[in-house]
Structure 1
Amino acid sequence: MATPFALGTFSTGHEPFPGLVVEDRVADLSQALPWHPATTLAVLDRWAGALPELRELAQHAKNWLDLASLRVHAPIAPRQVFQSGANYRQHVIDLVVAHRPEDDQETEEQARARAAELMDRRAREDQPYVFVGLPSAITGPYDDVVLPSWCTQPDWELELAAVIGRPAHRVTPENALAHVAGYTIANDLTARDLVFRKDMREIGTDWLRAKNAPGFTPLGPYLVPAEFVPDPMDLRLVLKLNGETRQDESTKDMIFDVARLVSYVSQTTTLLPGDLVLTGSPAGNGLHWGRLLRDGDVMESTITGLGTQRTRCVAE
């Protein structure tokens, strides 16, 4: 039976290096592998060939480092980031209610019924909603998150992120998961006040400003290979704000599962090794609670089997 392991990026005050994690120990892959990969992305670029070597190292590696002595960075520096919106049924219903115009005559019950029908139709027509994020928004799983001065409604969005292990172009949902190397945790922060353009409603959403400030995507702590995630559609996501649970949901509530999302993105573009496909956030965001992020807030995010990230908010 294979020894469970994960991948990450670490440093000791010098250049970051890719590491293999087994419990509380880390093997420096830049030294342990004969081809000396400098980054986790380099490992993913030859994922099929690297896997047997990683399994062997998990059992027999020497010169282990103490995990507690290392700084943990985001596990992967992706080339591309694809983000799924409106993919958890209850979350979308809550957002529809929260974003109703002030002069809207629709009752909350009517708004929820309309949103539920919209989600059912999207599922029937197989139309996920995906947009592009910027790799420059990624930060480490324990780094401070700077809240920009221009953002008045910063919000949290805990998400399961699929990490691509081999190129995928026009793959079917049935074959899509064969292109996924593993999974990690993402907290896809959003400037709620900037999601919709106020200057011209017809333009629609402004994901550049709403999603991509530096540090708005804490990632990790680790990339857990798919072989150690038996069912990505049966994972529990929990986000706590200052110790209080705000999001607590199963990936079962997704409208479009991981395979359908990966397949959908691949119909338009080519997914590359290391690319991230964020799968949407469940109900329980700050907008729902009427409590947005503030200076000093601490977010703790956990997904079954993927570890925990802990980030503190700091006002710019």
Structure 2
Amino acid sequence: MKRDVDSPTFSGPFALGTVSAPGRDPFPALVVPGDRVMDLRAALGAPELTVRTLLEGWDDVLPRLRTLAADTAGDRLPLDGLRVHAPVEPRQVFQSGANYRQHVIDLAVAHRSPDDPRTVEEARVEFAEVMDRRAAEDLPYVFIGLPSAITGPYDDVLLPAWAAQPDWELELVAVIAKPAHRVSVEEALEYVVGYTIANDLTDRATVFRQDMPGIGTDWLHSKNAPGFTPLGPWIVPAESIADPGDLRITLKLNGETMQDESTKDMIFGVARLVSYISQTARLLPGDLVLTGSPAGNGMHWGRLLRDGDVMEGSIAGLGTQRTRCTAETAS
């Protein structure tokens, strides 16, 4: 159900989204300032078009999108009354872990063993040194997420009954435009069509396997419940974002600011992450590269998500998403 959809507030003359009207299937939309959208299936004469297939021909279609956005006489629908879905259905989701220096230090301190002899300050100094070594050794940390965890930017988020410590992680997302395999850092941004927002929810209680400590993290269980990745609302073209390495990320919980940081704190920028992933995997049009979350998560505040909480996440130039948490009833 559509609820509390914000007016489009994004950089540049247009963005891309996926929306639907009551009784209609979702359709790819050109979103322009003034709370208006254009059905790109009709405008481009492509009845089977999706945002993902549009991205597959991005170089050819971009000039047409610019023209459509500038045509104020074009057939446009009011955003009010439409449901906003996740802007794209990716085939692959790549998630960057431990990529914000301050955030990693905070989490490492929070997850210390109760018998750790170090003071908090001593631990922070040591973890900071670890982050500095990672940056110097140029080794990003990336794992795989599930497309089935993605939901819309205004949809309710179901907190599973088994999730004892559900937490928020607002992130900048790079959306891939064309197949990329073994690309250099210098050319990596040529493969990024634009940027959007994700809230990469995580159940902190199941991040580490208690039954098999030696096996390490369990990202399947802790991050991939249905709806655990609210995405959007829009994909803003890369040409409209001056510097993805200098964007403000803000998350409010029930109106109180919890995360308020710049992407400047990323250890590895978008170009480095895309290049690193492409050395192993073949990135495809519409794929998502989540770039990590800054400081200010629930573990830092000692306040995890619960029934009725409302999260409002925004990134400068990309818009705002708003989701309400609902707790699953234990069976």
Give the TM-score normalised by the residue count of structure 2: 0.94
Deviations 1:211-255 (A, max 9, x none): 000000000000000011110011000000000000000000000
**Residues 12, 240 of structure 2: 8 Å contact kept:** no
In the alignment of these two chains, the number of paired residues is 315
Q: 1:21 matched to which residue of 2?
A: 31
Q: Distance in 1 between matches of 2:120 and 2:12?
A: 51
- Equivalent residue for 2:238? 226
How far apart, CA to CA, are the structure 2 residues paired with 1:3 and 1:106? 49
- Contact 1:3 1:55 (C-alpha < 8 Å) held by counterparts: no
Contact 1:160 1:185 in 2 (8 A): yes
Q: 2:74 aligns with which of 30, 50, 62?
A: 62
Q: Helix, strand or coil: the match of 2:196?
A: strand
What does 1:47-58 correspond to in 2, within 5 Å?
Answer: 47-58=58-69
Read off the aligned partner of 2:40 and give its amino acid letter: L
Q: What is the SS of the residue equivalent to 2:250? A: strand
Give 5+ residue unaligned stretches, structure 2. Answer: 1-10
Aligned 8 A contact 1:29 1:37 in 2: no
**1:11 equivalenced with 2:20 (yes/no):** yes
- In structure 1, distance between residues paired with 2:58 and 2:293: 28
The one-letter amino acid of 2:222's match is A
Letter of the 2:67 partner, please give it.
E
Distance 1:292 1:47, change over 3 A: same
Post-superposition Cα deviations, 1:194-225, rounded to whole Å, max 9, x if no partner, equal 00000010000000000000000000000000
SS at match of 2:188: helix
Whole-angstrom CA distance in 1 between matches of 2:90 and 2:21: 22
Asked whether the 8 Å contact 2:27–2:41 carries over to 1, the reply is yes
CA distance in 1, matches of 2:68, 2:278: 32
List gaps (5 residues or longer) in structure 1.
none
Q: Which residue of 1 aligns with 2:7?
A: none
Cα deviation, residue 190, structure 1: 0.1
Moved more, 2-11 or 145-154: 2-11
Contact persistence 1:37–1:43 (CA under 8 A):
no
Which aligned segments of 4 or more residues in structure 1 are displaced greater than 4 angstroms? none
The percentage of counterpart residues that share the same residue type is 71
SS of residue in 2 equivalent to 1:84: strand
| TM-score, normalised by the number of residues in structure 1 | 0.98
- Output the CA distance in 2 between the equivalents of 1:228 and 1:102: 47
Counterpart residue type for residue 19 of structure 1: A
Determine if the alignment matches structure 1 residue 40 to structure 2 residue 51: yes
Q: 47-56 or 178-187: which moved more? A: 47-56
Alignment partner, residue 145 of structure 1: 157
* Number of the residue aligned with 2:3: none
CA RMSD across the alignment: 1.1
Q: Does the 8 Å CA contact 2:171/2:293 hold for their aligned counterparts?
A: yes
Tell me how far apart the structure 2 counterparts of residues 115 and 220 of structure 1 sit (CA, whole Å): 32
Task: After superposition, give the CA deviation of every residue in 1:169-203 in whole Å (9 maximum; x if it has no partner).
Answer: 11111100000000000000000000000001000
Q: Which residue of 2 aligns with 1:209?
A: 221
Q: Residue 69 of structure 1: SS of its match in structure 2?
A: coil
The answer to whether residue 298 in structure 2 is matched with residue 289 in structure 1 is no
